[in-house]
Amino acid sequence: MRKFQILLLLFAVSTSVLSQSYSGYLSSDLKEPTSYNTYVEFLQKVSEASPIISLDWMANSFQGRRIPYVTISENGIQDTGKLKFLIFASQHGNEPSGKEALLVLIKEFADGNLNQFLSNIDLIIVPQVNPDGGELGQRRSYNDLDLNRTHTNLANPETVGLHKLFHKFLPEVTLDVHETYFYRKGWLNYGFIKTYIQQLGILTNPNVDEKILEYSNNKILPEICEYVEEKGFSFSNYILGALYRGEPVRHSNPGVYDGRQSFGIYNTLSFLIEGKNGRTPNEELSRRRDGQYENILGLIEHVAENVDEIKTMVGEARDKLMNSKEGETVSIRSVYELGADSINVTLHDLKKEKDTVMTFPYKSKVVSTLDITSPKSYLIEKFDHVLIDLLNKHNIKYTPYKFSSEDCIYRYTILEDTISISDDKFFDVDKINVTEHTDYNDYVFVPVNQLAANMVRLIFEPQSMHGPDSRHGLIKGKKMEYFTDINGAYKILRLESN
């Protein structure tokens, strides 16, 4: 008995010593964001001390900083029976509270306070996607890109690394943590600002599996709203719209160029958090961090309690992508339309210094403005290193093309000189059969029956709002001129069955 008591004492002492090795790195009363060097050292210490936390490196930033991520797992992250949950923050360098919340979350797991969630889920956590911007205190990357607009063109190493991480683990759930700024000039002149400390955005692209969209809207949103408000933080479904100039309220763009939608298009249960930023990055940073932490923890708790349902739902939806067929309808352009109902929004009256509820028109519905029927595959020239590189970055499967007598090959031709990129207008195309004029040996075959089925069809169709002529571009620095010759012939071919 005495020997057992001594062993318990030694274990308690060793655990306390290990905890002390990392406990001094995080402050409960934050005056400024944790520096890159400090939080990396914290992650190194905590991974050495905790058997459930492992440290690895996602990529090098544009300036060369190594971007760390940690996995939190009882049995090892490669356990295929567990649900995987990827959480990443600070794509924008001047939005630090998400990073700070994730560091606290990691410490809580290391201290053993949250391990009840690990019986059926594993976590992959990237505290800071944009360390260069974080050190500079700026939204954009060091080379002046908004990283959250580069998830289709994968123009920077930070988002390339994040997508590699996604495809390495194929998490069923992802969460992208941001902050939003309520103090823009238009709002201040209006005399009212939004008040919500926490907002949660769900998927809005109409090509995502309907069950995932319904689950997010009908189950996740109300539960997280109740959870976060019980913790003392005001909450809303993520809303946008310059209300001060008469715009209706809407939710976020269905484009797949951002972190949430680009992973959601793989039929992932994918979310975005938008916490309320301060007037400066340091204002009320502890309070902002705590709000982010509770929102994140609420999602983790929900996922852990509903693992079987989520795994089944996501698994079945992904099976549909793997079995995608020629002739399916795909929405390649969509917009928000006004619904029948208006919406109440709580705003803070800057003159009276009190909150008030105001009613606004509400663009509640996403509707498709252009559908296409899916081809059997797309054909890309095997010597086009730019597009082949993009396929590889997105983990899109392709093979050398072998012609079959059942194949019909079509080429688009752009019919207008001026290309519109607005949501409700798009240029016209003609589709020409070029089967007899194609050198089949020069192409690779990109099938639609793969996990990337939605991504392939959305980025390769020339009229797509997500593709070559999209606002953020499929290829960095290049628009439609890269994809067409002087006669408007589009270089990506469609392969259809006879």
Residue 3 located in a structural domain: no
Q: What is the CATH number of the domain that holds 43?
A: 3.40.630.10
Closest CA to 206 of 320, 362, 331: 331
The pLDDT, as a whole number, for residue 489 is: 92
Residue 354 located in a structural domain: yes
Confidence bin at 16 (pLDDT 50/70/90): low
The pLDDT, as a whole number, for residue 18 is: 53
61 and 196 belong to one structural domain? yes
Confidence bin at 470 (pLDDT 50/70/90): confident
Burial group, residue 161, by CB count within 10 angstroms (0-12, 13-18, 19+):
buried
The pLDDT, as a whole number, for residue 78 is: 77
User: What mean pLDDT comes out for the span 75-99?
Assistant: 92
198 and 78 belong to one structural domain? yes
Burial group, residue 185, by CB count within 10 angstroms (0-12, 13-18, 19+):
exposed
User: What mean pLDDT comes out for the span 98-120?
Assistant: 97
89 and 118 belong to one structural domain? yes
- By DSSP bridging, strand 235-237 and strand 83-89 are unpaired
Q: Which residues pair with 69 in a beta bridge?
A: 56
349 and 486 belong to one structural domain? no
300 and 222 belong to one structural domain? yes
Count the residues in the chain: 498
235 and 292 belong to one structural domain? yes
The pLDDT, as a whole number, for residue 425 is: 58
63 and 160 belong to one structural domain? yes
Q: How many CA atoms lie within 13 A of 143 on its CB side?
A: 11
258 and 400 belong to one structural domain? no
What's the mean per-residue pLDDT of the chain?
Answer: 92
264 and 385 belong to one structural domain? no
Domain boundaries, position 424: 374-497
277 and 198 belong to one structural domain? yes
Q: What angle do CA 123, 128, 130 make, to 5 degrees?
A: 140
259 and 393 belong to one structural domain? no
pLDDT digits (tens, 9 = 90+) for 27-53: 889 999 999 999 999 999 999 999 999
Residue 14 located in a structural domain: no
What is the number of domains present in the chain? 3
314 and 350 belong to one structural domain? no
